[in-house]
Structure 1
Amino acid sequence: MVKIDEMDKRVCEMRQNLQKLISEKTNLLDPEVIIASQKLDVVLNEYHAILRKILE
């Protein structure tokens, strides 16, 4: 369960960072926003894969 807790914390931090970037940038297509969003997507995919393994 430690891995889930770590991933959950990481997801929350990355979401907060993405929200901050969005509020600072005037364009959602700003490269920084896109990169942060893509990184969050990767971590969320990993998080869901771990959850699926636990629930099987």
Structure 2
Amino acid sequence: MKLIDKQILSLMITIKRTEMVEKAKYRGLTHPEVVACSQELDTLLNRYQNIA
């Protein structure tokens, strides 16, 4: 994976994390939308971690 791809993925992680935190503030940690965001964030973080 190219450096630019890694940078884009890093930006996507930051955006998703911010989205999750904002939703959690208003809906609570167990709301389905927050849980879905958390799962999407996990996927992005796993992809980032697997980059050699």
TM-score (norm 2): 0.90
Structure 2 unmatched ranges of 5 or more: none
How many aligned residue pairs are there? 50
In the TM superposition, structure 1's runs of 4+ consecutive aligned residues that sit over 6 Å from their partners are none
Write the letter of the residue equivalent to 2:22. Answer: K
1:1-56 map, 5 Å: 1-25=3-27, 27-50=28-51, 53=52
Q: TM-score, normalised by structure 1?
A: 0.84
Compute the RMSD of aligned alpha carbons: 0.7
Larger radius of gyration: 1
What letter corresponds to residue 8 of structure 1 in structure 2? S
Percent same amino acid at aligned positions? 26
Gaps of 5+ in 1: none
